[in-house]
């Protein structure tokens, strides 16, 4: 049984990023649903499914010495009564470094009897910006 009830998906998302910045495994797992159907994908890594696999990857990540700071931008939210899907750009700054890295993430939350819980976190690297393509003028047939 979870100790924390998140009244909105936004509250759950805030708790997710707070736990991530603090590298707090117990706080992180409070956000996740106790379910074998949860899924987590980190950039360049395989898909992990199930509560134990998700817990194991966060435990591994939190053992790192890197301190991360997250600023979310370009947030899009689609919410229904039982499900909320959030697409965000995570602007990640590593403590002591000047530049930030941008990752695009999809976070999905489900409403449970104990409040909103995360069921999916899928993060991908943002591709490098390609040079803009100039469209060719339309071809006219006679």
Q: What is the pLDDT of residues 79-120, one digit of tens each?
A: 999 999 999 999 999 888 878 899 999 999 999 999 999 999
Query: Is 33 part of a structural domain of the chain?
Result: yes
CA distance 120 to 109: 7
Query: Is 42 part of a structural domain of the chain?
Result: yes
* Beta pairing partners, 110: 83, 117
Count structural domains, the chain.
1
CB 90 within 8 A of CB 70: yes
Query: Is 119 part of a structural domain of the chain?
Result: yes
Task: Tell me how far apart the terminal alpha carbons of the chain are, to the nearest angstrom.
Answer: 72
| pLDDT tens track for 3-40 | 889 999 999 999 999 999 999 999 999 999 998 999 99
Query: Is 140 part of a structural domain of the chain?
Result: no
Q: What is the pLDDT of residue 94?
A: 87
Query: Is 130 part of a structural domain of the chain?
Result: no
CB 38 within 8 A of CB 50: yes
In which domain, by residue range, is 73 found? 9-125
| Domain at 120, CATH number | 3.10.450.50
Neighbour-count burial of 140, counting CB atoms closer than 10 A to its CB (0-12 exposed, 13-18 middle, 19+ buried): exposed
Neighbour-count burial of 14, counting CB atoms closer than 10 A to its CB (0-12 exposed, 13-18 middle, 19+ buried): middle
């Amino acid at each position: 049984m979870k100790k924390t009830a998140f009244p909105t998906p936004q509250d759950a998302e805030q708790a997710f990023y707070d736990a991530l910045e603090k590298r707090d495994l117990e706080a992180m797992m409070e956000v996740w649903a106790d379910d074998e159907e949860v899924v987590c994908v980190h950039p360049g890594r395989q898909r992990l499914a199930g509560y134990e696999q998700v817990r194991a990857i966060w435990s591994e990540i939190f053992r790192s010495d890197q301190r991360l700071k997250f600023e979310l931008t370009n947030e899009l939210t689609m919410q229904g009564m039982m499900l909320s899907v959030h697409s965000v750009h995570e602007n990640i700054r590593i403590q002591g470094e000047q530049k930030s890295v941008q990752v695009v993430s999809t976070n999905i939350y489900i409403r449970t009897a104990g409040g909103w819980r995360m069921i999916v976190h899928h993060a991908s690297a943002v591709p490098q910006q390609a040079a803009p393509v100039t469209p060719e003028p339309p071809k006219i047939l006679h």
